[in-house]
Chains A and B, each alone.
Chain A
Amino acid sequence: GAGVSQSPRYKVAKRGQDVALRCDPISGHVSLFWYQQALGQGPEFLTYFQNEAQLDKSGLPSDRFFAERPEGSVSTLKIQRTQQEDSAVYLCASSLARQENTEAFFGQGTRLTVV
């Protein structure tokens, strides 16, 4: 596709349910990022992939959060046993390269609401 695609756009989960959020990056982009954005805040880093390798997961808030990118393209962010504090917009971004001079392109996000 032309841009980064995320699905679903909206997800409502009951507390304790597991959810899976999908990100389809721009074709050929090496870098893939996941961010969490609370209402009225800036995006907070969750994790980073270079191709299929998860090089940085320092932002994952707990072991309930898990991300993968097995073939170096599509990525899935999984949240187990969702809690109310997980309610946020989850943004995925991809970048052509890892260098600091390369911009990232973002998807429209998945708005997760835990009830």
Chain B
Amino acid sequence: AQKITQTQPGMFVQEKEAVTLDCTYDTSDPSYGLFWYKQPSSGEMIFLIYQGSYDQQNATEGRYSLNFQKARKSANLVISASQLGDSAMYFCAMRGHTGNQFYFGTGTSLTVIP
């Protein structure tokens, strides 16, 4: 069975500081993709960053980086230099080997404090 776990329902961070959002996953698939999405109050899911299970290096996209630890089955999102516009829900997701669906966690609500 595929499962994504996000244990932080809510997080606060000071503007310009870095923050780490936790994500652990469970799968028996030989290969898989890990994704992070941002969902502002407007409701649209915005793709942020992708990490492949066979990638040796951690993914980075601008201020976003993914701390991938395969042995621990974790894929934490690091946001550097937080901005007020980063306040949103963040979802970790996994796409399994069949590609038929994305499995989502319950999300973390991030609030950036000025």
- Residues 82-114 of B contacting A (Cβ, < 8 Å): 91, 95-107
From residue B108, how far is it (CB to closest CB) to chain A in Å?
Answer: 10
| Docked pose: A19 CA to B33 CA in angstroms | 34
From residue B86, how far is it (CB to closest CB) to chain A in Å?
Answer: 18
Is A91 part of the contact surface with B, judged by Cβ < 8 Å? yes
From residue A47, how far is it (CB to closest CB) to chain B in Å?
Answer: 9
Cβ-defined contact, A108 with B44, below 8 A: yes
From residue B106, how far is it (CB to closest CB) to chain A in Å?
Answer: 5
Is A66 part of the contact surface with B, judged by Cβ < 8 Å? no
Known A-B contacts A106-B44, A107-B44; the reply to A98 vs B99 at CB < 8 A is: yes
List 10 additional A-B contacts (Cβ < 8 Å) besides A42-B91, A106-B37.
A42-B107, A56-B100, A93-B45, A93-B102, A99-B33, A100-B32, A103-B35, A104-B47, A104-B95, A107-B44
Cβ contacts A to B, 22 pairs, < 8 Å = A31-B99, A42-B91, A42-B104, A43-B91, A43-B102, A45-B103, A48-B101, A56-B100, A91-B45, A98-B98, A99-B33, A99-B99, A100-B52, A100-B53, A100-B95, A100-B96, A100-B97, A104-B47, A105-B47, A106-B37, A106-B45, A108-B42
